[in-house]
Each structure stands twice: as C-alpha cells, then as structure tokens.
Amino acid sequence: MSWLFKMEIVVAAVPGPPAAPEVCDILSTSCTVRYELPEDEGDAPVTGYHVEKAGVNTKWERVNEAPITDLEFIAEHLTPLSQYRFRVAGENQFGVGEFGPASPLVSCLEDELPSLASL
C-alpha cells in the first residue's frame, strides 16, 4: 500500500526596512520621529510600526509598547542634553520586518524648567 500526500507551502513576507526616520520637534525630554512606508510592504499591507532608540554608547531599546499606526511617534522620557538616534521597522499580518537605518544623532535640549537659584 502506498500513500500520496499533497503539501502546499505558502511563503509570506514581512515588510522590508523603511528609510532612516526624520527626527524633529526636539525638546529636553521628547522629540517627534517621522518615517515613511517601506518600499516593500511584503505580502500584506503594513499595519503598524516599531520604533527603537539608542544613545551614543547604549544598545537599541524599543520606545513603543504596541505597534504605532501613524507615520510619526513622539518619543518621551528622554534625558536632557543626551544624544539619541532612532530606527523603525514595519509590521504586517506576517510579522515584524527588519529595522531600517538609523537617524543621525540628535541632541536633546537643556531642561526647560527654571532652577530654584534663578527664581
């Protein structure tokens, strides 16, 4: 007795990496990270984005908990006078794609609150 099995393999692609994001509206503890759709959305539309930050000598860390559905994100809880770079990855129904290239380093401003000595 012989058995014949038919198997279908479906290969689905995650999004390609987006271009380096633009960082603007830089304040002492926050900035806006803007990005565009990746050239290659994979085999399904992009449904969200993941943003990571890194300091000069620090590892990459995620700055959002859930996928971002907009093409910009306000990164908060940054340290005044510190430098950061950001990178973005797209997500579709098949998973999260590779992170794109990093933004140039940006410097947070000095703390905006006046010190008690200046009051």
User: What tens digit of pLDDT does each residue of 66-84 get?
Assistant: 999 999 999 999 999 999 9
User: pLDDT digits over 82-108, tens only?
Assistant: 999 999 999 999 999 999 999 999 999
pLDDT of residue 117: 56
22-110 belongs to CATH 3.40.50.2300? no
Q: How confident is the model at residue 35 (pLDDT cuts 50, 70, 90)?
A: very high
72 backbone φψ class: left, alpha, beta (φ>0; ψ -120 to 50): beta
Q: What pLDDT is stored for residue 103 in this prediction?
A: 97
**pLDDT value at 33 more than 80:** yes
Give the domain ranges of the chain: 22-110
pTM for this structure?
A: 0.84
Average pLDDT, the chain: 90
